[in-house]
Amino acid sequence: MPKNILLLVADDLGREQLGCYGCAAIQTPHLDALAASGTRFDMAFASTASCSGSRTTLYTGLHTHENGSYGLVLERNGFQTWANVETAPRVFNDLGYRTGILGKVHVAPDAVYPWQVRRESETRDVAVIADQAERFFQEARDDESSAKGFFLTIGYVDPHRVLTSRGGFGNADADAGAYDARIRDRVYNPDEVAVPSFLQDLPAVRQELAEYYRAINRLDQGVGMVLAALERTGQADDTLVLFLSDNGPPFVNSKTTLYDAGVRLPFLMRAPGASSATDVVNPNLVSWIDVLPTMLAWAGHEGRQPPEGSVGPRKGRNLLPIAGEGAVVPGWDRVFGSHTFHEITNYWPTRYMRTRRWKYHRNVCWRLDFPFAMDLYASLSFDAMRNSGGAAAAPITNGCNGTTTKEVNGVSKHEEKTAAPTSKQPAMIGKRTLKSYIRRPAEELYDLDADPDEVRNLADEPAHAETLKEMRLAVEAWQYETHDLWLWKDGVSVQRFREFDYEREGLRIPDRLDFDVDSPGTEGVKTIRLHET
C-alpha cells in the first residue's frame, strides 16, 4: 500500500487560538476532530518565528543558520536556501513519490524545492484549495507511476494579516461575497474573543482578534474540506496527516520573537495503521526539525541523511514511536531555536533553549533595539498599545523585566518599585513594558513554572547562576554542533576563527560574550581554546 503524506501549514496561527488547545471562544471543529483522531502535541516548537525560515526548517530538517534561509523570501533582498541542501521535495522525488504544493510556498529557489506539482497562490478561498487537493489525490491514486505514494503540502494564507490594510485578515473579500459559497463566514464580535496574556486588553486589540478569529474559522473549514476529499478518494487510511503553523500570531510580543507566544505552536498528527493513536495529548518537547525525519520514517526510510556534499546531518528525530504517548518520554526534554532576520532590515540574531521548566535566550546583538516587522508596526493593535500609557506612578526598572534589585540577607532579590507620580506610566505589551520589549539584555532566563509569560528575567540572580551557566553551555555546544556563525565570544564569530590556526600565532579570545570596551585587554582574562571545543 502507498504511504502518503499530507502536510498542512497554517500562516501565523497561534496555539491558544484553537478549540483543541483550550480556546472556548473560537469554533474550530474540524481541527478539533483531527486532534481527537490522532495526537495533539502540547509542547511543540518552531525553531524560528518567521514565516519563510520556519517553513525551511520543516522542509529541510535544519535550522535556518544551517540551511541559509536566515529570513523572509522576497522578490528583492530576500533569503534563499543554499543549493547543497536536501529538501523534502527533492528527497521524496528521489524516492518515487508524487510531490506537490498548493497555496503559499514562501521558500526559494525553485530548483532547491522542485515540487512536481506547484500551484502557488495567495488565495484565501479554502474551497478552491480543497478542490485542487482533491484533484491531486485523484491523480496520485490513478497514476501507476505514483505507487509509492504522494507527498502534498498545502500552505494556507490564513490567518496572516492582509498587508494592504492595517487591521485586515482577508475578511473584506468575504464581506464582498468573493469566496466560494461552501465557506460559511463566521463573524466574531470583539466582546467574544479571549485576549491572550501577551497582549493588552484594549478595544483595538479585540477588534483585530475578532478579525483574526474569523480567518482562523475559515482556515478550519478549509482543513475540513481537504480531509473530507481525502476520505472520498479512499486514501485517508494510507495517509499521514500533519497540521501545524509556521509561527505564532501576527502581533507584537509573539511573531518574530522567540518567546513562547512566537514559537510554541499547534501541532496535530494522525498516523493510520500500526502507528495510529487517538485523542492523545503528548507532553514531550518536539521541534519542527523533527518533521522531515518523521515523514521519511513513515515512508520507510527512517534515519535517511542527506547525500555526501549536502549540508547535514539532520539532527531531528522520528516522532512516530512517541506519537501515542500521553506521558513524558525520557530524552524528549529540550529544544533549541535560531532566529536571525525577519525582513532583511530586521537583523536581530538570537538563540534559545527550552526545557520543561526553563527558557534561556542568548541575544547576540542585544545592544541593538529589537526591530518591528512592517505589518506588526502598522497594526491597529500595536498603535493602541504604544499609546496605552496613562496618568499613574511609573515603575522604576533597571533591566528588561520591570523590576529593581536589592540585597536581602546577601541574596539579590527583585522587587517592584514605584517612582513619584509621573504624567504617564510606561506603555505595556502584555505583561512587559514596551521599553523592555525593545531593549533586551544579552541573556534572558525564565522559570516557566512561575513565569509562563517570560517577564521576570532571572539571568542576573545569583540563586540561578548555575542554571544559567548550564543552559548557556548547552546552547553553545548546540551552536558548535550546528555550525552556527552567531556563536560569539568577545564579540566575534568563533566558528569563523576555528577555520584558521591563529592560536598557533598567539591569538587569544576572551571567554566572554561581548567585547569589553572598558577593559579590552586579554592579560589575566580566561580565554577559549578554539580547537579543543
Cα end-to-end distance, the chain, whole Å:
48
Cell numbers for 155, please give them: 500552505
Who contacts 421 (Cβ-Cβ below 8 Å, separation ≥6)?
391, 392, 393, 394
Give the pLDDT confidence score for residue 144 in this predicted structure: 78
Q: What is the pLDDT of residues 57-74, one digit of tens each?
A: 999 999 999 999 999 998
In-domain check, residue 455: no
Q: For the chain, give the number of residues.
A: 533
Give the pLDDT confidence score for residue 61 in this predicted structure: 99
β 98-103/117-120 pair status: parallel
Who contacts 274 (Cβ-Cβ below 8 Å, separation ≥6)?
none
Q: Report whether pLDDT(473) > 90.
A: yes
Whether the ω angle into residue 109 lies within 30 degrees of 0, i.e. cis, is yes
Q: Report whether pLDDT(405) > 50.
A: no
Mean pLDDT of 124-150: 94
The amino acid sitting at 414 is H
What's the Cα-to-Cα distance from 382 to each of 49, 162, 433, 449, rounded to whole Å?
18, 15, 13, 28
Name the 3-class secondary structure at 527. Answer: strand
- Across the chain, mean pLDDT equals 93
The amino acid sitting at 506 is G
Judge whether 28 and 262 are in contact, CB under 8 Å: no
φ, ψ at 20 (rounded to 5°): -70, -15
310, 262, 249: which is closest to 288 by C-alpha? 262
Give the pLDDT confidence score for residue 238 in this predicted structure: 97
Give the active site residue among 20, 23, 51, 400. Answer: 51
Name the 3-class secondary structure at 432. Answer: strand
Last residue of a domain, one of 276, 302, 329: 329
Give the pLDDT confidence score for residue 476 in this predicted structure: 98
Mean pLDDT of 113-126: 98
Whether 23 is catalytic is no
Give the residue, 195 or 417, on which the prediction is more confident: 195
What percent helix, strand, coil does the chain show, rounded to 5? Answer: 30, 20, 50
Who contacts 395 (Cβ-Cβ below 8 Å, separation ≥6)?
402, 416, 417, 418, 419, 425, 426, 433
Q: With cut-offs at 50, 70 and 90, classify the pLDDT of residue 76.
A: confident
Name the 3-class secondary structure at 216. Answer: helix
Cell numbers for 502, please give them: 591563529
Name the 3-class secondary structure at 7. Answer: strand
In-domain check, residue 468: no
> What is the residue range of 160's domain?
4-329
In-domain check, residue 495: yes
Mean pLDDT of 203-221: 98
Q: Report whether pLDDT(397) > 60.
A: no
Who contacts 518 (Cβ-Cβ below 8 Å, separation ≥6)?
none
Cell numbers for 72, please give them: 523572509
Q: Report whether pLDDT(274) > 80.
A: no
In-domain check, residue 127: yes
Give the pLDDT confidence score for residue 406 in this predicted structure: 40
Q: How many domains does the chain have?
A: 2
101-110, 144-153, 328-337: the lowest-pLDDT one: 144-153
Give the pLDDT confidence score for residue 266 in this predicted structure: 99
Last residue of a domain, one of 301, 329, 357: 329
Cell numbers for 264, please give them: 510554541
Give the pLDDT confidence score for residue 200 in this predicted structure: 97
The CATH number of the domain holding residue 11 is 3.40.720.10
Q: Which residues of 402-418 are buried (b: 16+ CB within 10 A; e: fewer)?
A: bbeeeeeeeeeebeeee
Judge whether 40 and 275 are in contact, CB under 8 Å: no
In-domain check, residue 406: no
Mean pLDDT of 273-291: 92
Cell numbers for 220, please give them: 478550519
Last residue of a domain, one of 272, 301, 329: 329
Q: What is the pLDDT of residues 50-60, one digit of tens each?
A: 999 999 999 99
Distance CA 444, CA 459 (A): 6
The amino acid sitting at 273 is G
Residue 520: alpha-carbon gap to chain centroid: 37
Q: Report whether pLDDT(149) > 50.
A: yes
Give the pLDDT confidence score for residue 532 in this predicted structure: 65
Mean pLDDT of 111-119: 99
Q: What is the pLDDT of residues 474-499, one digit of tens each?
A: 999 999 999 999 999 999 999 999 88
Distance CA 454, CA 251 (A): 16
Cell numbers for 21, please give them: 488547545
In-domain check, residue 67: yes
Q: With cut-offs at 50, 70 and 90, classify the pLDDT of residue 42.
A: very high
Mean pLDDT of 176-192: 96
Q: With cut-offs at 50, 70 and 90, classify the pLDDT of residue 75.
A: confident
Mean pLDDT of 225-244: 98
Q: With cut-offs at 50, 70 and 90, classify the pLDDT of residue 411.
A: very low
Judge whether 317 and 365 are in contact, CB under 8 Å: no
Q: Report whether pLDDT(407) > 70.
A: no
